[in-house]
Structure 1
Amino acid sequence: MVKKPLAISMVVVVLMFALFAAMDKGSQPETSGSPVVHAAETGKPAPTFSLLNMEGKEVKLEDYKGKKVMLNFWATWCPPCKAEMPAMQQLYEKAGSSFEILAIAIDPENDVTGFVNEYELTFPILLDKNGTVNSNYGIISIPTTFLIDEDGKMQKKHIGMMTLEQMEEFMEP
């Protein structure tokens, strides 16, 4: 009889610890760009960032000023992310130099290289190793995609998977 209440108490304590740890994580200092925004809003400047790509080269959002950017947050374990990656690759191949796709992996501790190779992705994949950019953009669900205009302002936000047709429409002004 005592085992069941004890087990429930243990679960509650673990959940509370996890909740407090997650809340404390948000109070850590910013290390990769602009101050914490916690919810990128359309019409406002996109939070800046600097992340490493798959080759270990630093990539900054400001490097793409003057160009439209489709910014996608994803993870290797996310089924909708896996489903939209082939469409994103098709869009990237069709787009040429008309805009850029930046895909931010929020789980770089997993086999991102294997994922990229399996899906034959050629657009830039950035690694958010400490979760700062994910937090700055207020990501609560993946995939989440933003359209950033040539002036660095947020124009659109889409939560969830997109088809190629939806991506093409998303990239229109």
Structure 2
Amino acid sequence: MVKKILGTVLILALLSVAVVQAIEKDRSEDKIITQPATKNISVEKMSGIKVGLKAPDFELETLEGKKVKLSDFEGKKVMLNFWATWCPPCKAEMPHMQKFYEEAGDKIQILAVNIDPKNNVAGFAEEMNLHFPILLDKDDKVMKMYQILSIPTTYFIDKDGIIQNKFIGAMSLDKMREFFENQ
């Protein structure tokens, strides 16, 4: 009886996630959220930290065990990405992020926050040939802080630590370039 109830709850939770993602996909062709003055999408209706606000500071460890704070990069543009190894759109955007990382050099800092560090994140990074910093959110603290409901979710943060753009879904290399150039 308990197994049936747990199974039902799990199925309902997965169904809810699918419905939310389908709704978000229909909201906008590109799923772009820009400055609050944008009339295409109401920022207030979307989940997560809002565009135009100061990005909350946090500290996480890299795959190598080095502690990294978001505030360490104040004065530099930051692309903050939330992802998981089991997420197909996340897998799809990783080669684009690596290419963008190589192109941007020291002009922008990419921080990829992994929300499932119990999985083999290091093996995934090696298999995908990823060289940008991957941070491990072991206790979901940062994911909760940024109110992440759907992955991948990417924030573009300016040199002053202000969130300039937010993108929900897999990003193409062209979209990454566009957001970087518009900051």
Shorter-chain TM band? 0.7 to 0.9
Structure 1 stretches of 4+ moved >3 Å: 12-16
Q: Match of 2:80?
A: 71
Deviations 1:85-109 (A, max 9, x none): 0000000000011111000000000
Question: Which ranges in structure 1 are unaligned for 5 or more consecutive residues?
Answer: 1-5, 20-37
84, 90, 95: which one aligns with 1:81: 90
For 2:79 and 2:6, the matched residues in 1 are separated by 40
Deviations 1:57-99 (A, max 9, x none): 1000000000000000000000000000000000000001111
Q: Which amino acid aligns with 1:85?
A: M
Per the TM alignment, residue 170 of structure 1 is displaced from its structure 2 partner at its CA by 1.6
Q: Match of 2:122?
A: 113
Larger Rg: 1
Question: Could you say if the C-alpha distance between residues 111 and 13 of structure 1 is closer, same or farther in structure 2, counting changes exceeding 3 Å?
Answer: closer
For 1:13 and 1:93, the matched residues in 2 are separated by 44
Matches within 5 A, 1:136-155: 136-155=145-164
**Contact 2:48 2:149 (8 Å CA) reproduced:** no
52, 60, 78: which one aligns with 1:51: 60
Per the TM alignment, residue 39 of structure 1 is displaced from its structure 2 partner at its CA by 2.7
For 1:54 and 1:13, the matched residues in 2 are separated by 33
Q: Match of 2:110?
A: 101
* Residue-pair matches, total: 148
Secondary structure at 1:96 match in 2: helix
Q: Match of 2:35?
A: none
Deviations 1:39-62 (A, max 9, x none): 311111101100000111100000
Q: Which amino acid aligns with 1:126?
A: L
Question: Could you say if the C-alpha distance between residues 7 and 44 of structure 1 is closer, same or farther in structure 2, counting changes exceeding 3 Å?
Answer: closer
11, 19, 33: which one aligns with 2:5: 11
Per the TM alignment, residue 15 of structure 1 is displaced from its structure 2 partner at its CA by 3.2
Question: Which ranges in structure 2 are unaligned for 5 or more consecutive residues?
Answer: 14-46
Q: If the length of structure 1 is used for normalisation, what is the TM-score?
A: 0.80
Question: Could you say if the C-alpha distance between residues 114 and 12 of structure 1 is closer, same or farther in structure 2, counting changes exceeding 3 Å?
Answer: closer
Per the TM alignment, residue 13 of structure 1 is displaced from its structure 2 partner at its CA by 9.8
Question: Could you say if the C-alpha distance between residues 55 and 7 of structure 1 is closer, same or farther in structure 2, counting changes exceeding 3 Å?
Answer: closer
**Contact 2:114 2:134 (8 Å CA) reproduced:** yes
Secondary structure at 2:90 match in 1: helix
Deviations 1:111-151 (A, max 9, x none): 00110000110000000000010011111100000001101
Q: Match of 1:62?
A: 71
